[in-house]
Structure 1
Amino acid sequence: MPTHLQPAGHLPMLYQALAVLSTAIYFSGLAHFKLAAARMPPLSGTRTWSLAATLLTSRTWITGAALLGVGAAVQTAALTGLSLVEALPMFLAGLGVLLILAVPVLGERLTPREWGCALLLAAATVLFVHASTGLHGPSDPGTPAPPLVVAVALPSLLVPCIAFMAGDRARKGVHARPLTGVALAVNVGLLTGTAELMLRGASGQGTSPAALLGTPYPYVFAVTALPAMGQLQIALQRSRLVIVGLVATATAKTYLLVVATSLYGEPWPDGRGQTASALGLTILAIAAVPHHEPRYRPAPARLHREPTVR
């Protein structure tokens, strides 16, 4: 297992800043998706062409998609100077930007139980920071054979897409109370984690475009990112940004760390107990998010209210 990690007293501030910035840009893109959702007709994953046409004709959505692309590029740059264990708490720290965008800006509200889940993620972030103390610099990701990369990515792509299609067909009339969007957000998180797994591989290819194009990473990333953005838009139209963002991000980062360990030989720090505890808290936070909105649902943001018909 390659472990080209150099001890140092602190992490490179530039790469830390890039890691936090990538998540902030990502959530800014999600906020654009949320604003675009209010102006769109009801979206469905079973009407693929209608969904694509609706998204591609929305300037606000296209702006959000461009921000997601910039965030992905910044994340790749961050991973050229940080190991994944070092970068993970920086990615999770960006959840503070999500809370600012969702609560004060868009006027969304969290229940006490949902705030508890956010605090669990904050505790996991602190544990990840402690676990990565003493490590410095990127690990040297292995170069698995292209068939192995595809073999890992394929079920990660098919399972959430099949689960989404099955759930979307049976959505109407199943639940009396509105859903918070946890199931959709987990699907989005698995797809996003797969896409980020490709970014992790791409970060080890240097700056040569020819070398990168000779790997499966950009192609699998594109195939995975498209359904991820479609499902994300549907989730944001039906559910609150804060819940979708928290659950999808926690799912994606958990998947990324666990799978990258096997696929790329991504090293774990000496504080394995802290890392395992942090992963446990992250999974607990995802599982503890309520699946249904409260009976007395908080008032929606003013930006999302439908105009009154006179």
Structure 2
Amino acid sequence: MQAQYQALAVLSTGIYFTGLTFLKIAATAMPPLAGDRPVHLARTLLTDRTWLAGGTVVAVGACVQAASLTGLTLVKAQPMLLAGIGLLIVLAVPVMGERLTLREWGCVLVLAAATALFADAADGPPGNGRHGGAVVLTSTVTASGAVGTAVPPWLLGTVAALSLLVPCAGFLVADLTRKGAHARPLTGVALAIDVGLLTGTAELMLKGAAARLGHPFTPAAAAYPALFTVTAPLALGQLQIALQRGRLVIIGLVATATAKTYLLLVGTLLLREPWPDGATAEIAAALMLLVLAIAAVPHHERAAARTRIQNLPITR
């Protein structure tokens, strides 16, 4: 039965990255976008047919991912959710004509190693209710292995507020530091990290909603879909700005690695999901590889690529 949920998780990433390709195509024809001009941003996106098509595909991917998370713990879902990076490489390099430096290919290999570690750790026996020395409290384990936990509304609200505040503030600061058309072109790592934090928050809301299926209605259960409707549009808006300023492959890689790191760490603590017995060291090593891959991505485009990348100025 769990194989069905694993297949859904892999399918969701394929759908998501296909939608990202549409969004990248739409970005090339759009006027300069900025996070501190929300009305202009929303109007531009909602009146672009290519973007609407891509956004619809991404939304379908989110629905498929939500379905997969009804039967998978976060650890078991992690390798499937990261596996779609292979499709991203295919779409970005041969299809879109983007290029990776040797250092960037090294980051891809590090992500692949992290995915392999997660896959090996996910095959371990289910956790015994203890994680990192702490007892898992008030958890309900379903037949499929997913863990549902009642989270206090105040705690959920605090996590969501911090998860929104940090990337939004970081994005505005990044916008203020842009120096115009003659600035050294950036690869978009900072923007992609912000997108990843918002995406990870939206995915956490999906996981929380999935974990509460079949339980009595509570304010916390209603908060998950409500918070998703806030974080998902913000993630899409910032994603489009990032795609307009950077390569699809870099934005996709960094945002995905950031989102999955956030999802596993914060989701494990918030939902109190136990890790498989004996897999703590392996999962920790995989998480460190994810962080290493993010940190190793160059922040500036190489000189040979600068003439091919448009550094869009922001009109104030």
In the alignment, the residues of structure 1 paired with residue 176 and residue 47 of structure 2 have an alpha-carbon distance, to the nearest angstrom, of 25
Partner of 1:308: none
Q: Alignment length, in residue pairs?
A: 292
User: Residue 285 in 1 paired to residue 275 in 2?
Assistant: no
Q: 1:299 to 1:141 in 2, by over 3 A?
A: farther
Letter of the 1:85 counterpart: V
Matches within 5 A, 1:243-282: 243-270=250-277, 271-282=279-290
In the alignment, the residues of structure 1 paired with residue 301 and residue 219 of structure 2 have an alpha-carbon distance, to the nearest angstrom, of 44
Q: Secondary structure at the match of 1:141?
A: strand
CA contact (8 A) 1:108 1:300 kept: no
CA contact (8 A) 1:189 1:251 kept: yes
Q: Which moved more, 1:159-168 or 1:203-212?
A: 203-212
CA contact (8 A) 1:205 1:211 kept: no
CA contact (8 A) 1:15 1:78 kept: yes
CA contact (8 A) 2:153 2:220 kept: no
In the alignment, the residues of structure 1 paired with residue 87 and residue 40 of structure 2 have an alpha-carbon distance, to the nearest angstrom, of 32
Partner of 1:229: 236
Partner of 2:205: 198
CA contact (8 A) 2:151 2:220 kept: no
TM-score (norm. length: structure 2)? 0.87
Q: 1:269 to 1:213 in 2, by over 3 A?
A: closer
Letter of the 1:172 counterpart: K
In the alignment, the residues of structure 1 paired with residue 286 and residue 72 of structure 2 have an alpha-carbon distance, to the nearest angstrom, of 19
What do the CA deviations read for 1:216-248 (whole angstroms, capped 9, x no partner)?
Answer: 001111111111111100100110000000000
In the alignment, the residues of structure 1 paired with residue 201 and residue 181 of structure 2 have an alpha-carbon distance, to the nearest angstrom, of 30
TM-score (norm. length: structure 1)? 0.89
Superposed structure 1 runs of 4+ greater than 6 Å apart: 207-213
What do the CA deviations read for 1:140-182 (whole angstroms, capped 9, x no partner)?
Answer: 2211012211111101101110111121122124984200000
Q: CA RMSD in A?
A: 2.2
Letter of the 1:190 counterpart: L
Q: 1:68 aligned to 43, 58, 61, which one?
A: 58
5+ residue gaps, structure 2, are 127-143, 311-316
Partner of 1:56: 46
Letter of the 1:117 counterpart: C
Q: 1:114 aligned to 95, 104, 107, which one?
A: 104
CA contact (8 A) 1:212 1:218 kept: no
Shift of residue 198, structure 1, vs aligned partner = 0.4
Shift of residue 95, structure 1, vs aligned partner = 0.6
